A and B are shown apart, each in its own frame.
Chain A
Amino acid sequence: SAVISQKPSRDICQRGTSLTIQCQVDSQVTMMFWYRQQPGQSLTLIATANQGSEATYESGFVIDKFPISRPNLTFSTLTVSNMSPEDSSIYLCSVSAGNSYNEQFFGPGTRLTVL
């Protein structure tokens, strides 16, 4: 299984500012995913990030609000731009195991609170 770390683990931010979340994997992976989990809710996929190509965003999420970088096979960043209190969530990155299971391993998450 892959070991995934995220930075920061939590943050409190002011509205109108931006925060960049980092996701580091201990092995090379093709597919990385970013999810949002709003308080008391389930996980919702924001986008899929493949190295060497633009991220693919799900319905309701746009690049201007959630720009993603994927510079190499072990690292990705998600930026939450122009934040509002509605952006307060846990943001999780995950990677595909690359096996027939399509199993995904998750990072520990970033708890974001926007005031």
Chain B
Amino acid sequence: AQKITQTQPGMFVQEKEAVTLDCTYDTSDPSYGLFWYKQPSSGEMIFLIYQGSYDQQNATEGRYSLNFQKARKSANLVISASQLGDSAMYFCAMSGYGNKLVFGAGTILRVKS
């Protein structure tokens, strides 16, 4: 069975600084995908970034980058130059058989001005 672990219930970061949100995963499948989603207080789920298990390079999307360490089974999200609008819940998720997504417990990020 697939499992996602996010050990940080909440994080604070100063505006304009970088922050890393941790995610570790467990799976026996050789092929899988790792995702990060942002959920503001409005409740919508916003796709941020994706990393495939066979991708050689770490994924980047604007201010978001994914620090993928396959041997350690970690897929940490790095947000650079934090903005007040980054305050939200962040979920790490994994896809596998049947295109299903398994989500972690989430990390609440608060950006301080």
Which residues of A are interface residues toward B (Cβ below 8 A)? 1, 31, 33, 37, 41-45, 48, 56, 90, 92, 94, 96, 100-106, 108-109, 111
Contact = CB atoms under 8 A, between A and B. Distances in A.
Interface residues of B, number: 21
B99 A45 contact: no
Contacts of B99: 31, 33, 48, 96, 102, 104
B52 A101 contact: yes
B50 interface: yes
A104 B99 CA distance: 9
Contacts of B35: 103-104
A92 to B, nearest CB: 6
A103 B102 CA distance: 12
Contacts of B43: 37, 90, 108-109, 111
Contacts of B42: 108
A92 B50 contact: no
Contacts of A45: 100-102
Secondary structure call for the A interface? strand
B29 to A, nearest CB: 12
B49 to A, nearest CB: 10
6 contacts: A42-B103, A42-B105, A48-B99, A92-B45, A105-B47, A109-B44
A90 B39 CA distance: 12
B66 to A, nearest CB: 13
A1 B50 CA distance: 14
Contacts of B33: 101-103
Going nearest first, the 10 A-B pairs with the smallest beta carbon separation are A106-B45, A102-B95, A109-B43, A42-B103, A43-B103, A102-B99, A96-B99, A108-B44, A101-B50, A42-B105
Contacts of B106: 42
Contacts of A106: 37, 44-45, 47
Contacts of A102: 33, 95, 99
Contacts of A48: 98-100
